[in-house]
Structure 1
Amino acid sequence: MPHTADPLELLQTLIAIDSVNPALSPGGAGEQAAADFCGRWLGERGFEVHRLERRPGRPSVVGVLKGTGGGRSIMLNGHLDTVAYGTYEGDPLHPHIENGRVYGRGAFDMKSGVAAMLAAAARATAAGPLRGDVIVACVADEEHASSGTEEVLERFTADGAVVTEPSMLEVTLAHKGFAWFEVDVLGRAAHGSRPDLGIDAIAKAGHFLVALEELGARLAAAGGHRLLGPGTVHASMIDGGEGPSTYPARCRITVERRTVPGEPASAVRDELAAILDHLAATVPGFRYELRAGLHREPFEADPGAPITRVLLAQAERVLGRPPVIRAEPFWTDCALLAAAGIPCLLFGVSGGGAHADEEWADIAALHQVTDVLTGTVTDFCDA
């Protein structure tokens, strides 16, 4: 076979493939070449290869090796897309090794995870199928809207899953969600010399910004989730005004609310609406429009689920100690898998530089993650 199940070789090959997400960076190459490579690689090892490409040029690839029967099915999930190169130092598509690290765009986030799960699936099934199905999902678009995992979940399910995002060799059992909203504070346009006719939407918006800061303080004081702490809120963008001598008729504020388990997006909308309704009742001339945008629910794994117990045991075996349990402030595809009824958790390599000018993955950690995943696939599917 032209490619071995060596995760370092796989990672170097994947780094050299341009897969910048075009939804974030117009003109980006997208996942097509990376999906082509993963599909060929899985096919060479006897996996059924399914290419899902609802959006042309933005494919996800799913490899399935059906079990002999009676075992549990597992899904390994990792995304192929990367962020743009920006001011990346050196050649982002030329992987190089230095001091036990491999450098290049996507080395950490998260082509290391994709390489580890490909190698693990191949190693675990090298002697033939296990009792349960092994499903390897190399997905598109996680860095933007996760349309790849959404499309995969329309056709595939499993008894357990591992998302191989980088986690510093720690086991992630929870992460925050997010909800985006647009608030238009409405005024009335008039010439700057006629305050009797105009209503300054930007000045009115100041009342909302103060109330938003107060909400953030209340959230911080509430304590929040046992692993994640409190939810947060901030105003991320603001736009308004037509000219220096015009009372602004509108001021638009984009709000991001980071949520923890127990805070669904519907409750967050009600939270903001209550603040805005109070301002409309107490601030003369305050009017608003509230629109919900993209939202992703938070995630929390079941610590007693079989997939959790198996991976924790395998991580302890490989690391020589019980793994650290952690939670992430950012969102991952784990939440989509859990919402689809698939018990899951997150485990991946050590490294650094996600979305930064220099990005790297620790080579020893890459091999450790591969070993943990290999053992997890074998034990989970043959149980």
Structure 2
Amino acid sequence: MAQAATEVLDLCMDLIARNSQTPEDAGCCALLGSRLEKLGFALEWINAGGVTNLWARLGTQGPLFILAGHTDVVPPGPREQWQSDPFVPEIRDGLLYGRGAADMKSGLAAMVVATERLLARRPLRGSLAYLITSDEEGAARHGTRHVVEVLKSRGIVPDYAIVGEATGAQQLGDRITIGRRGSLGCNLRVLGKQGHVAYPEKADNPIHRLAPALAELCATVWDQGNAHFPPTSFQVSNIHAGTGANNVIPGQVDLIFNFRFSTESSAESLKARVHTVLDRHGLRHEADWWLSGEPFLTREAELISAARAAVAEVTGLSPSLFTGGGTSDARFIAPWGAQVVEIGPVNDSIHKVNEHVLVSDLDRLSRIYEGVMDRLI
């Protein structure tokens, strides 16, 4: 057990030391692939748009279990605020520091060592595959989304999948993610007519026109949510208008807003309701919508049961089932037909300066992954 714990730590540190700021992979997939190839996995590189994508599979029979994750990380931010170099892993007071320590190089390291340990004990009862990308933290166009489309075209359909995103709230195993809200965004431009502030009758102020419509949008109850999801939320993230002069009515105002929506709403219904409000207020506008992902939910069945049991066995906890947070690549895997959960370390430090993970959690996370696989394949 001590040797396995060291192996997870060593592999995690080796990954952190590779500066894989999105969409760069910096050799992470090659490192992971070399470990998997020694176990008999067949490696395939399904790269696209400058993104590194590794599909590695062992076995041809069902059920097919996928372990999924990403090697890319967000930029470290101000280097001077880090207590150590973000790409030089360092252990202090039982914590492993470095960009990607929690999100999600620890998950990848734990998955690989869990696989090595499982296969050293017995053969698979099915097939195991890895889907690893370097395009999760960025545009997410050429990563998991692309690989899934390629594999779907071959008729490949997975049964189960674990995404190794950081999911713990206070401690490892206190919750697992079984679904995610959808994300729908819009760049909205409201058009008016520029003019002098002293002659408003000769202009058309788009800020004034937008204000009551925006107030209505902010006050709207979009749905009530359900047993698994909170109500859909509408949030404005950016608003901009003006020419830089304090005596000019601008000719347009630009707004960016986002819906995080439950399974009680759809992207099309939300778009239609927004346009109804804008039209009712007589706004001349241009709307550029983008859909980052539809909501999904894994119902309680074999995978969730196995995940609960594995977490309880390793940590003694009964994990809560969570559907909050941002989006993840699970949004591309779930519609493919698989039962999907996300299990990973505590997420308190992800995307922050001095990102870290508890060293003692690394092997425990690996044993959780091994326990889930042991129960299903």
Partner of 2:150: 155
1:80 has 2:76 as partner: no
Matches of 1:258 and 1:8, distance apart in 2 = 36
Partner of 2:200: 195
SS state at 2:225 partner: coil
**1:325 shift after superposition:** 2.4
Partner of 1:329: 325
Any idea what the Cα deviations from partners look like across 1:149-186, whole Å, max 9, x if unmatched?
11221234411101111111222122222110122111
Partner of 1:13: 14
Q: Choose the corresponding residue for 1:359, options 352, 355, 361.
A: 355
SS state at 2:75 partner: coil
SS state at 1:352 partner: coil
Query: 1:299 is matched by which residue type in structure 2?
Result: F
- 2:197 and 2:248 in contact (8 A); partners too: yes
Query: 1:98 is matched by which residue type in structure 2?
Result: R
SS state at 1:131 partner: coil
Partner of 2:369: 373
Partner of 1:125: 119
* Alpha-carbon distance change, 263 to 32 in structure 1, aligned in 2, over 3 angstroms: farther
- Alignment RMSD: 2.1
**1:17 shift after superposition:** 0.6
SS state at 1:142 partner: coil
Matches of 2:203 and 2:115, distance apart in 1 = 66
Partner of 1:42: 36
Any idea what the Cα deviations from partners look like across 1:329-361, whole Å, max 9, x if unmatched?
211122211111111111111253111111111
1:295 has 2:256 as partner: no
Partner of 1:341: 337
Query: 2:88 is matched by which residue type in structure 1?
Result: H
Matches of 1:355 and 1:32, distance apart in 2 = 19
* Aligned-pair identity (%): 26
TM-score with structure 2 setting the length: 0.89
1:181 has 2:172 as partner: no
Partner of 2:58: 65
**1:314 shift after superposition:** 1.7
SS state at 2:167 partner: coil
Query: 1:260 is matched by which residue type in structure 2?
Result: S
Query: 1:259 is matched by which residue type in structure 2?
Result: F
Query: 1:234 is matched by which residue type in structure 2?
Result: Q
Matches of 2:139 and 2:111, distance apart in 1 = 22
Query: 1:224 is matched by which residue type in structure 2?
Result: G
Structure 1 unaligned spans of 5+: 23-29, 281-285
Any idea what the Cα deviations from partners look like across 1:247-291, whole Å, max 9, x if unmatched?
3221111111111122221111112112112211xxxxx322222
Partner of 2:252: 250
- 2:158 and 2:336 in contact (8 A); partners too: no
Partner of 1:226: 227
SS state at 2:332 partner: helix
Q: Tell me which moved more, 36-45 or 249-258.
A: 36-45
Matches of 1:298 and 1:180, distance apart in 2 = 14
TM-score with structure 1 setting the length: 0.87
Partner of 1:25: none
**1:223 shift after superposition:** 4.1
Matches of 1:225 and 1:111, distance apart in 2 = 33
Q: Choose the corresponding residue for 2:219, options 214, 233, 240.
A: 214
Any idea what the Cα deviations from partners look like across 1:21-64, whole Å, max 9, x if unmatched?
15xxxxxxx114222222222223321111121112x2011221
Query: 2:131 is matched by which residue type in structure 1?
Result: A
Q: Choose the corresponding residue for 1:104, options 98, 101, 106.
A: 98
**1:243 shift after superposition:** 4.4
Q: Tell me which moved more, 120-129 or 329-338.
A: 120-129
**1:102 shift after superposition:** 1.0
Query: 2:261 is matched by which residue type in structure 1?
Result: T
1:264 has 2:266 as partner: yes
Aligned ranges 1:130-149 → 2 under 5 Å? 130-147=124-141, 148-149=143-144
**1:94 shift after superposition:** 1.2
* Alpha-carbon distance change, 349 to 243 in structure 1, aligned in 2, over 3 angstroms: closer
Matches of 2:234 and 2:100, distance apart in 1 = 29
Query: 1:272 is matched by which residue type in structure 2?
Result: V
Any idea what the Cα deviations from partners look like across 1:289-327, whole Å, max 9, x if unmatched?
2221233112211112x2222222222222234333223
SS state at 1:251 partner: strand
Matches of 1:268 and 1:366, distance apart in 2 = 41
SS state at 2:178 partner: strand
Query: 1:122 is matched by which residue type in structure 2?
Result: E
Matches of 1:208 and 1:350, distance apart in 2 = 40
**1:136 shift after superposition:** 1.2
- 1:187 and 1:199 in contact (8 A); partners too: yes
- 1:32 and 1:59 in contact (8 A); partners too: no
Aligned residues, how many? 359
